[in-house]
Amino acid sequence: MESIINMKLLAENELIWSWVVANSKMNRERNASGVNSYEQELNFRPEEFLEKHIHKYGQVKWLDLCCGQGKALIQTGEWLLNKELQDKAVLTGIDLVDAFQTIPPNITCLDFEVRSLVEWTSTAQFDLITCIHGLHYIGDKIKVLTSAFESLTPEGLFIANLDLRNIHIENKDTEAYLLNCFKKHDIQYDRRSRILECKGRRQIDFSLTYKGANDEAGPNYTGQDAVCSVYKVS
């Protein structure tokens, strides 16, 4: 890890032009369910999660961060349309690259936004927030996590892939520090699957200051090159 710290750390406006970020294709064409899908990553079908939420609460909002082409969102919109539930759902996809598939004209519950996640904040609250293999390419991962936790409804679920080895806290045991923060706020992290889950809105101060990101950290557990985010304790 010392070699990472000795390398140049990139600011967010530099990182978005990194070849690692620009070439990331982890979530570009992922389906909602079945082969190469959100279902495989999350162990549940997003469309069924949304349907159950609608039946229980009357409406549902899903925010997909780093949504790639938005294929899973479009498929879910079509599924809701066929179930005559589209008017009770709001689906939103955000990605850094404008490579979204065309939304069919009969899908009216879905919108896409092109923006950097580290600049994202929301006054709206969501019942489901997902980030499938997107945090690997984000600079200030902690800021994105904090914003996502705060944007949940009381019954909402945030679920994402997170490799703790892609975060470095200077002069600290990074994994122990973060796992302690997660445990303190009842956030679940599976060290084997590297899936992070937060149920219900949280306001968390990680007491960390972001210093920059290194795009030369090499492959993480996915086998793809990832970005290492560097922090110091505030």
Instruction: Please spell the DSSP secondary structure of 156-212, one letter per residue.
Output: EEEEEE--GGGEEETTS-HHHHHHHHHHHTT-EEETTTTEEEEES-------EEEEE
Where in the chain are the domains? 25-208
Q: What is the pLDDT of residue 1?
A: 45
Per-residue pLDDT reduced to its tens digit, 57-115: 999 999 999 999 999 999 999 999 999 999 999 999 999 888 899 999 999 999 999 99
SS3 61: strand
The number of angstroms, rounded, from the C-alpha of 207 to the middle of its chain's C-alpha atoms is 21
149/93 Cα distance (integer angstroms): 17
- Paired strand residues for 157: 128, 199
Given this structure, which CATH class describes domain 25-208? alpha beta
* Average pLDDT score over the chain: 92
pTM, two decimals, is 0.93
Per-residue pLDDT reduced to its tens digit, 35-60: 788 999 888 899 999 999 999 999 99
Asked if residue 26 has pLDDT above 80, the reply is no
Residue matched to tokens 């923060």: 181
Report the interhelical angle of 46-57 vs 71-82 (nearest 10°).
Answer: 50
